[in-house]
Amino acid sequence: MLKKIPSILSPDLLKTLMEMGHGDELVLADGNFFVGGHAERVVRADGLGIPPLLDAILQFFPLDPYVENPVILMQVTPGDPVETPIWDEYRRIVEKHEPRHGGIENVERFAFYERARRAHTTVTTGEKALYANIILKKGVVVEE
C-alpha cells in the first residue's frame, strides 16, 4: 500500500491513468454498459459506484483545458422518462477538482458509444444509475 492514494483506485487503474497521455479519453461505464467490442483496454471496478471513483480519479487526473467540453455524458434517449440526478453529482465532483474545467457535453447515445469505442480505456463499474456513463478527456499537468 501507498500513502494518500484512495483505496478505491486499483493498481490496474492507477497504471492506466499514468500511461494515458494528453487528449486520451477514459470512459467510466455504468453497470448496464456493454463493453464488448467497445474498448481495447478494460479495467474492472466491479461493485463500485461512479461518483466515488470519479472523485478519487480527479484527485490525480487533469481535465483537458484546450477543449470546450472535457467531460462527456450520454444523452437520455428521446421519450425515455428517466431522471438523471447523478449528473448533478458529477458536476459537483468535477467543480470540486477542476473549477475551470470548461464544460460538460451531452452526446447522443450512439455517438457516445462510438466515442467510447475509440477511448483509451473503459472502466466497468457496478453503478446502478441509468445514463451514468461518463467520458473524461485527459489534460496536462501544469506545475503551479
Is 90 marked active-site? no
Let me know if residue 8 belongs to a domain: no
Mean pLDDT of the chain: 94
Q: How many domains does the chain have?
A: 1
Strands 121-125 vs 71-74: parallel, antiparallel or unpaired: unpaired
Q: Which domain covers residue 32, as residue numbers?
A: 21-137
For residue 50, give the CATH number of its domain. Answer: 3.40.1650.10
Catalytic annotation on 97?
A: no
Instruction: Please check the confidence at residue 104 and state whether its pLDDT lies above 70.
Output: yes
Name the maximum alpha-carbon separation found in the chain: 47
Catalytic-labelled residue, pool 30, 38, 55, 64: 64
pLDDT of the residue at 40: 78
Distance CA 99, CA 33 (A): 28
Residue 13 forms part of a structural domain: no
Residue 101 domain-assigned? yes
pTM assigned to the model: 0.95
Position 38 confidence tier, pLDDT thresholds 50, 70, 90? low
